[in-house]
Structure 1
Amino acid sequence: MKKNLSILAINMYYGGAQRVISMLLKHMVKDYNVHLVIFTEHINFEIPEEVELKILFPESNERNTVFNKLKNVFRAAKAYDEFIKEKQIDVSLSFLALPNIINGIVRAKNKNLRTVISERCFPSIMYKANKSSQLLSKFVIPKYYNKNDALFSNSININEDLRDNFKVNIPMSVIYNPINSNSTKYIDSASIAKTAQLKLINVGNIYDAKNQKLIIKALSQLPKNSFYYTQAGTGVLEESLKALSKSCGLDNQITFLGNTTQVEEHLLQQDCFVLSSKTEGFPNVVLEALSCGLPVISTNCKTGPLELLNDNERIDIPKGGFAEAKYGLLIRENDAIGLASALDFFLKHPEKRKQYSKLGYKRSKDYALPVIYKQIKTLLEE
């Protein structure tokens, strides 16, 4: 007899956690009676028809309203607790901080319920900018995370941060994000040749942590018409990024795609992917780029890039330069000169792009969806 599994998330709109949930659901429905519980009705990812969908607050018209105000957390916890009891849920799996807190609150009221939470960001960096958020997180995270049965993140560094700086003491493991390895679309490395213009892409929400302005600054140092930059995603800094590109005289060499569900198709049309972030949880899109055979340049930010591109082995990166890691190029955080140098290197050395295309594609197989799902299922069943 199948167990009843509930997955608690903010929404199914855009984001790395939502993409992971969508992928996992396809396997979970074979082993569980799956319920997907989201707080607001924002759905962009595919949900299998076997999944029973529950929207706790369908009347909410503002995205993430429930999550932007702490006073609504207990209202959400009450609604979720009622749902858990009504559906006789055996296991509750949550993604992201506030769903994790709610899972902890509900776990305290349901002794036979197993709760597993997943942290997707580096808390010390995520809450650093806002003093009140920093103080609140130091109280809330240990109080409610520790009520759960187990936690998994997608980075060794995240677990260390939770243990050392937030006093999380429940069993913790690292399970990396999966990639759908069934895709037959990838760049044929043999077709990579010297080109007069390097086509690069960044995919992500446009806000400070993603730091796309670093790409504009780097490109402003390169010869005009030596590149073409595609930006997928939207965000609070989109207009300022467009203004910066215009002030640098680059607006004719940049396309802003907005949000798109056709990420893979756009990746396949490029020469390299650039991750410019100041911080990450686990950069899904880097893994997607690798799985397409697309060479990658990434900042060595916390967390994810070093684990993905160099097996988490430390590497010396010169200021204003780059390092040739095992599966891609790494630059220092916020180093525009270093990024410009790495882009110029890929433009002038197609043989290196061929090498990293092959290595990256092979590397992505370590994160195949069946492999990752097996690890998560084991954790849910403990």
Structure 2
Amino acid sequence: MSGGGAEKVFCNLVNEISRYEGVNVSLLLCANVGPNIKHIDKKVDIFYLTSNPSSIKIALSSIKMWNILKKINPDCLFSTLEISNSLNVTIGALYKKIYNRELFIVTREANTLTDVNNQLQKRARSSFVFDRIYTKFVSNADFVIANSVDTKNDICKFRSVKKEKVRVIDNPVLFGNPLKDKEVLPPLNENKNSHFRLVSVGRLTYQKNHLFTLSVAKYLKERGYDFLLDIYGEGEEEDALMEYISQNGLHNYVSLKGYATNVLNVLSNYDLFILSSRWEGFGNVIVESLSRGLPVLSSDCPGGPSAILTDNKLGRLSTLCVQNYVNLIVELIESDTHTKRLFRVNYANKYHSKHIAKKYFDVLSNRGDASNEDF
């Protein structure tokens, strides 16, 4: 239950659906690790396959899933990400067959399968193995949930899933009491025409493409702009990013801030959010930034960004061109207004978990009778 977007989505869904009358929710995790575990509602029973997050250890411990299923005796088995999905459509499906259970199996795809160049994504060897297993046995799932139209198209194309079995449902990004303008709207930066406060949030990985964001920072510096760029996240590319910052004299401009426990609390301190991903599943942090009134500049990559940023008052999409990014940074910050910020906050509320969880529950509980229309 790490701090990634897919894990946050599951955390929000589990907590929201567990409040429904007559519904019992249990959570089976591959490993007893991650910051989101502490956010799970106490009424939810949590089971673990292992305390070790390594893929090999999880695979070796997967037989425990059988005994847990016998104990829980679920009506629906719902999963996300490669490892959990592969276990769902193999062990879950085998349990269903042997015990002749009317178990409804639903998986969720958290990312597109292609990148910004329409090429299949690079995957770690362990992820690749589980992904191949999932692809081979995904036909055992009754439904597959995708978080964007691009993700649905990839599922149908590369996993050979019939489009009638795939539902598109937005991510439940926001939780708690619905946001109110006056509670979250930060004041406009009085010095926005001379000093930019930029922020990016995401794992420090190849997918998130933070090296491109640093190249934008380098260009801003060379053109004499006064700015600060804070990047929140952890990952295997941290050393490479630190080296780039050092080699290009960006220490006074760029900071790697590490993992943010509550990203919503920090977003209000900035003028603009930047996303430079090669691909996305949905783009939770785009919604989180909008909910704090920030304009968003995102790469026009496969996944959710183009579905979220449907109005220029919300932000802009761009190719991965440094000059384009710089021009749009200046334009979006200098043209920002209080009215636009109010618009973004109100728009973000459509992605509140109270609304989205109901759409998920309709699919999970209707046992195949859910509408063929995407949500």
Same topology, TM > 0.5: yes
1:38 aligns with 2:19: no
In structure 2, relative to structure 1, the CA distance for the partners of 1:365 and 1:131 (3 Å cut) is closer
Q: Is the 8 A contact 1:272 1:296 kept in 2?
A: yes
Q: What does the per-residue CA deviation read over 1:139-181, in whole Å, with 9 as the maximum and x for residues that have no partner?
A: 5344221101111111011111111222012611111112225
- Tell me the secondary structure at the aligned position of residue 31 of structure 2: coil
Runs of 4+ in 1 over 6 A off after TM superposition: 131-135
| Alpha-carbon separation, structure 1, partners of 2:17 and 2:58 | 30
Name the structure 1 match of 2:141. Answer: 148
- 1:18-97 matches, within 5 Å, as 18-31=7-20, 32-45=23-36, 46-58=39-51, 60=52, 64-66=53-55, 69=56, 73=59, 75-97=60-82
Q: Give unmatched runs, 5+ long, in structure 2.
A: 367-375
- Tell me the secondary structure at the aligned position of residue 140 of structure 2: coil
Q: Give unmatched runs, 5+ long, in structure 1.
A: 1-11, 312-324
Q: Is the 8 A contact 2:83 2:130 kept in 1?
A: no
Name the structure 2 match of 1:268. Answer: 268
1:374 aligns with 2:358: yes
In structure 2, relative to structure 1, the CA distance for the partners of 1:135 and 1:103 (3 Å cut) is closer
TM-score with structure 2 length normalisation? 0.85
1:175 aligns with 2:169: yes
1:355 Cα deviation from its structure 2 partner: 5.3
- 1:145-294 matches, within 5 Å, as 145-169=138-162, 171-178=165-172, 179-180=174-175, 182-184=178-180, 185-188=183-186, 191-195=188-192, 196-222=194-220, 223-224=223-224, 226-294=226-294
| Alpha-carbon separation, structure 1, partners of 2:240 and 2:303 | 26
| Alpha-carbon separation, structure 1, partners of 2:268 and 2:128 | 43
- Tell me the secondary structure at the aligned position of residue 207 of structure 2: helix
| Alpha-carbon separation, structure 2, partners of 1:220 and 1:139 | 40
1:104 Cα deviation from its structure 2 partner: 0.8
1:329 aligns with 2:316: yes
Paired positions, count: 346
| Alpha-carbon separation, structure 2, partners of 1:279 and 1:199 | 25
1:306 aligns with 2:339: no
In structure 2, relative to structure 1, the CA distance for the partners of 1:131 and 1:54 (3 Å cut) is closer
User: Percent identity between the aligned chains?
Assistant: 23
1:346 Cα deviation from its structure 2 partner: 3.0
TM-score with structure 1 length normalisation? 0.84
- Tell me the secondary structure at the aligned position of residue 122 of structure 1: coil
- Kindly report the root-mean-square deviation, in angstroms, between the aligned alpha carbons of the 2 structures: 2.4
Name the structure 1 match of 2:371. Answer: none
| Alpha-carbon separation, structure 2, partners of 1:353 and 1:221 | 26
